[in-house]
Amino acid sequence: MSHLNNHASDSLCRSTGMDPVSIHDMIALSLSLCQGRQEPKSTGRNSMSKFTRRHALALMASATGAACTSAGGPAVQLGTGSEPLKDLAAAKGIRFGTAMDVREVSDPAYLDIVLRDCAVIVAENEHKMYTIQPTPDAMNWTPGDTLVAFAKANNLGMRGHTL
């Protein structure tokens, strides 16, 4: 998952001489392109009958490719002018979220975006072994516990993908 901040798109746009546009709007557009598509239902434990790999690739390509525009003008602010992404995604049967680092819990601007647009968070490195057990004789659950507490306090889903 990609962070919901403008750092990556800003540097991409600076290197290409283009202006950043709202990632929020690009993802919303990508979600709208999924509308009305009928995909065969797959079976199995992790089936995603409504959202296929093809949809995921289209979403990633459009969000990445459209992060810049050749027209001049100010950057559009994230999270303005439309429904929250979590609501747009939920209407398509998708849970929308982001990866988070424990340091981002203390960034109010970042948290505003996460709380507005996300229904689930995934720990970046907080549940990986090198964080939980930095040395053979020490355990450090604090970073992961901090993210879990944040998710619980804000009624967000939490995914510890490496546990």
Q: What is the pLDDT of residues 53-90, one digit of tens each?
A: 666 666 666 665 555 444 444 544 555 568 999 999 99
Q: Which residue has the tokens 């979590």?
A: 86
Q: Could you read off the pLDDT of 102-121 as tens digits, one per residue? A: 999 999 999 999 999 999 99
Q: Could you read off the pLDDT of 9-63 as tens digits, one per residue? A: 444 445 444 445 556 666 666 666 555 444 445 455 554 556 676 666 666 666 6
The beta strands (E) that lie in the chain are given as 19-20, 68-69, 97-100, 120-123, 157-159
Token representation of residue 161: 């993908």
Helix segments in the chain, DSSP class H: 7-16, 23-33, 53-65, 85-90, 108-117, 129-132, 142-153
Q: Report CA dihedral (144, 149, 151, 152) to the nearest 10 degrees.
A: 140
pTM for the model:
0.56
Token representation of residue 97: 């979220």
Q: Name residues whose C-beta falls within 8 Å of residue 118's C-beta, 6 or more positions apart in sequence.
A: 4, 85, 86, 96, 97, 98, 156
Q: Residue 103 is which amino acid?
A: R
